[in-house]
Amino acid sequence: MSVHNFKDHEMHPYTDEIKAIPLTRWEDIPDIDDKEKYNWIMMGKDKYGRSMYCTKTGIRRSTTMGEFYGSATVD
């Protein structure tokens, strides 16, 4: 499944270590859909404070529009 088609997913709480990782723009990860290399989970607590974290590589990145709107109720 493409990251752009992300559907409802559990949101994991941030830890201090994950908050300290610099945020990478999703556009700067050319192989973002590579399931062998990445395992993206959504991090955050509130409606707009969220990012994606890879449990395999330790990268923290911004969410795509599909991820952002696919995991929240649109006002």
Q: What is the pLDDT of residues 17-48, one digit of tens each?
A: 998 999 999 999 999 999 999 999 988 876 67
Cα 26 from Cα 6, distance rounded (Å): 14
Alpha helices in the chain, H assignment, sequence order = 16-19, 65-70
Indicate the pTM of the whole model.
0.78
Quickly state the pLDDT bin for 75 (edges 50, 70, 90). Answer: very low
Amino acid type, 25: R
